[in-house]
Copies of this chain bind each other. A is one copy, B any other.
Amino acid sequence: MAYNSIESMDVLVNELSKLPGVGKKTAQRYAYFIISNDKSYAESLSNAIKEAKENIHECPRCGNFTDTEECAICSRTDREPIVCVVKEPKDVMAIDRINNFKGTYHVLHGVINPIEGKGPNDINLASLLRRVNEEHIKEVIVATNPDVEGEATAIYISNLLKPLGVTVTRIAQGISIGSELEFADAMTLSKAIDSRRPM
């Protein structure tokens, strides 16, 4: 290996292998592709990274990523006074795909996680409280992940907001559409039965 090391290649492989789920082999594959391709690709990729990081910031209202002053969703004039609270900006994208939600979002940029030393003050909660007061929000849907930290955060938010007279709801947990009962884990199955609805 020593005889074939190319410093700027090693640097590139090292940077690429920091991407989520990318090991050294995959990083090398990407690096060889970038080097082998014509110069315009390396340039456009390099610029796209720099420009995205420079242009994109958090929306001052909801915390979602945006490249405009206020994010496109918060700027809608026909939005309903419902806020969907999520952990990360990519969760906004996931929910926004379904198209029948006309409210706004609120991105926490994390969840309460005592093990990692993250308390309620370390996530984007103060501005949620302010929004509920100022924007005449009728309902807050807590859409954090259905794991321990997500649940704890949901309960914390519920306790925080209920005294303000706003309805706080939690996204339903149960069997995924198209999945089979036989493969569902016990926790999910138990939640699905607890949350059963009349037909």
Interface residues of A (CB under 8 A from B): 1, 3-9, 11-12, 14-16, 18-21, 26, 28-36, 39, 41-53, 55-56, 64-67, 71-73, 76, 88-90, 92-93, 96-97, 99
Copies of this chain assembled into the complex: 2
A9 touches B52 (CB 8 A): yes
Closest 8 CB pairs of A and B: A42-B53, A12-B52, A46-B49, A15-B48, A12-B48, A8-B52, A46-B50, A8-B55
Given A20-B33, A42-B52, A45-B49, 6 additional A-B pairs, CB 8 A: A8-B67, A9-B65, A11-B48, A19-B34, A42-B49, A46-B47
Also in contact, A6 and B67, with CB within 8 A (given A35-B53, A49-B46): yes
B8 touches A34 (CB 8 A): no
